[in-house]
Structure 1
Amino acid sequence: MTVIVAKWTIDEYHRMIDAGILRSRQVELLQGEIVEMSPEGEPHAYCSHEAAEYLTDLLGQRATIRQAKPITLPNNSEPEPDIAIVQRLGREYRQHHPYPENIFWVVEYANTSLEKDLETKSKIYSQAGILEYWVVNLKKLHLVIFRDILDGEYATKLTLTIGTIQPLAFPDISVVVERIINN
């Protein structure tokens, strides 16, 4: 027996949200599939919040730091990354979530969702043209940085536990890895 999965467009997904169908569910749209999001445990909530505060202070008025808010991607995906560093477009975001061209980079914190974040989401973000993607592995307390899109996938993958990293969008800024991991 062949299983056929129903795929949803972003417009259909938004209509379900507007109709209240998904009100009691923590979900995101990934490549046309509505996927349950893992509950956020204390380390996840603490680390992502502290990192967002740090990035807000570090970047100042150069970017907006959005926490657990949707971004709209062309591959029928509307994930809700833990942190999205986006252009400061102000009220324009009343009309739409950030598109790939508005996104400097995204950060996901992963404990139970590690495989989804490292595999599925890295492909979704790279295919959408997001130039940089960070995953914090909360089990091992390290930062995985994906960069350099080649043929729709990230060609470079760095794993750091200490030191500093310069985001591609802001090469003059040094981000302290320990402040992102919050170990």
Structure 2
Amino acid sequence: MSKTSEPEPDFALVSFQESDAAKRHPACADWVMEISDTTLSLDRNKKARVYAQAGIRDYWILNMQKKRLEVRRQPTEEGYASLTLLSPDQSLGLLAFPEVELKVADLLGDD
């Protein structure tokens, strides 16, 4: 991210190992999620470009309006090359933490 970019995701996870310390700053998240209702346009456009340019491989938008999860992967300079839409009855694993699988319904808070 540029020195002037300071996006504030709702959630971010960073994997860190001692051997990574010299290679990259631990502030570069491996997974970012925005919980979006009134900020969908900002999250899908400006933030998606900023996160993709920073190399964040896993960017999720929890779309509260449509009750679905939007998963963006394969970052490029222009944004993300891959978009997957998931409904509440589906689940998905995180790229950086393959042992972690989250249910969309749990993220939405649906019963």
Q: Which band: TM-score by shorter chain?
A: 0.7 to 0.9
Distance 2:7 2:26 in 1: 11
Aligned length: 102
Q: Which of 118, 125, 128 lines up with 2:51 in the alignment?
A: 125
Q: Is the 8 A contact 2:16 2:26 kept in 1?
A: no
User: Once the 2 structures are TM-superposed, how far is the Cα of residue 174 of structure 1 from its aligned partner?
Assistant: 1.6
In structure 2, list runs of 5 or more residues that go unmatched: 18-24
The one of 71, 82, 97 equivalent to 2:10 is: 82
Name the structure 1 match of 2:71. Answer: 145
Q: Are the equivalent residues in 2 in contact too, given 1:75–1:128 (CA < 8 A)? A: no
Secondary structure (helix, strand or coil) at the match of 1:136 reads strand
What is the percent sequence identity of the aligned residues?
35
Pick from 62, 66, 84: which aligns with 1:136?
Answer: 62
Q: 2:97 aligns with which of 154, 161, 170?
A: 170
| Higher share of residues assigned strand | 2
**Selected match of 1:99 from 27, 33, 51:** 27
Deviation, structure 1 residue 84: 1.1
Question: Contact 2:13 / 2:32 at 8 angstroms: preserved in 1?
Answer: yes
1:125 & 1:168 partners in 2: Cα distance?
Answer: 15
Distance in 1 between the 2:91 and 2:50 partners? 26
Q: Which has the higher contact order (CA 8 A, sep 6+)?
A: 2
Q: How far is 1:173 from its partner?
A: 2.1
Structure with greater helix share of residues: 1
The CA RMSD measured in Å over matched residues stands at 2.0
Tell me by how many angstroms 1:178 deviates: 1.1
**Normalising to structure 2: TM-score of the pair?**
0.81
Matched, 1:157 2:95: no
Partners in 2 of 1:179 and 1:79 — Cα distance?
Answer: 25
Secondary structure, aligned partner of 1:117 = helix
Q: Secondary structure at the match of 2:61?
A: strand
Give TM-score, length-normalised by structure 1: 0.51
Gaps of 5+ in 1: 1-72, 90-96
Q: How many angstroms does 1:88 deviate by?
A: 5.9
1:116 aligns with 2:42: yes
